[in-house]
Chain A
Amino acid sequence: MHLRNLNLIAFIIISIISPSLYSVVEFKSNIFFSFATVGTNDAISSSHNTLLMGSDNVKVGGYFGHENRHGSTTDTSAGGAIRIGENTYFELNGGAFKRTYKYNETELEGVGVSGNIILGKHLSKNVGVSLLVNGKHITKGMDKRWIYTLLPYIGLRTSF
């Protein structure tokens, strides 16, 4: 009985907000890459992708992140996302995270949680830049650690 009531309430709320909440569907892909041979060879390729729905100023949806460092360490993360603002925006992501490390015969896999705080600016309808602060916590499979990074991304998006 309680579950039915909850379903009914959720259905009513979604019905009320849906015309404004799901008026825009946007797919965005943010990329970052770096190759540097200062001291040691350091190659990074990273992408942060979102599929968001909502109004011009509030969008919700999901994100998927993929990052490779030095060819040996690969991080993947996925979870929920909410963005506030349009031309200049603030976005929060939170989800699960997996790291794989492969070097010669060594192969490790760690899992944990990941979150992003993003400040971004859309320079045009399709191109934008963003500053992404990422926090990851490996909780299982590898030595437990917190990893924080701050990197700028170039974003390409399409909406319909």
Chain B
Amino acid sequence: MKILILFLGLGFFNFGQAWELEAIPGVTVIQFDEEDYQDYNTAGASARFKANFYNGNKGVWLHNLWRGQSVAAFDAILGYSYRSSGSWYFEAGAGLAYGVASGVGAGALLGTGFKASGNWYVSVPAIIKSGGWSYLLVTPMIGYKF
């Protein structure tokens, strides 16, 4: 475990020559007309962020999931990954996961994406958390390379 943390730390501080941010928000609100159904009204929001600190085709990534419906929750995975070269790429990585509600576990990343224009790109990362409250997330994200 200590070796893994050291490995991630070295990657974060030494290999992060360039960084990218991928994001996707989502909001849903439902309001019933009838007075008797007001208890069924819901409002939920979520946002996913993935920050990559890459040097060439490898580096550290940090994935955040924020979601709020009645109770706000936060999940994060910090990992190290490799990415293939080219405008259409594939990437894979692994790391440590922590969630306020979902607990501690291991995280994995399998993803693909393509460069759209200039610094903009579109990615489809599959995020997997194993241990504690496990989950799988697959949603396209919009990315920008700084």
Contact = CB atoms under 8 A, between A and B. Distances in A.
A33 B27 CA distance: 14
Main SS of chain B's interface residues?
strand
A38 B69 CA distance: 12
B142 interface: yes
B138 interface: yes
B33 interface: yes
Contacts of A35: 136-139
B116 A123 contact: yes
Given A123-B120, A152-B25, A154-B122, A143 B34 contact: yes
Which of the four size classes fits the interface of chain B?
A: 20 to 34
Nearest to B137: A36
A36 B118 CA distance: 30
A101 to B, nearest CB: 14
Contacts of A144: 32-34
Interface residues of A, number: 22
Nearest to A127: B116
A36 B32 contact: no
B28 interface: yes
Interface in A106-148: 123-124, 127, 129, 143-148
B135 interface: yes
Contact of A36 (B34, B102, B139): B139
Contacts of B29: 146-149
Q: Which 6 residue pairs across A and B have the least CB separation, nearest first?
A: A144-B33, A123-B117, A150-B27, A123-B116, A34-B139, A148-B29
Interface of A: 32-38, 123-124, 127, 129, 143-152, 154
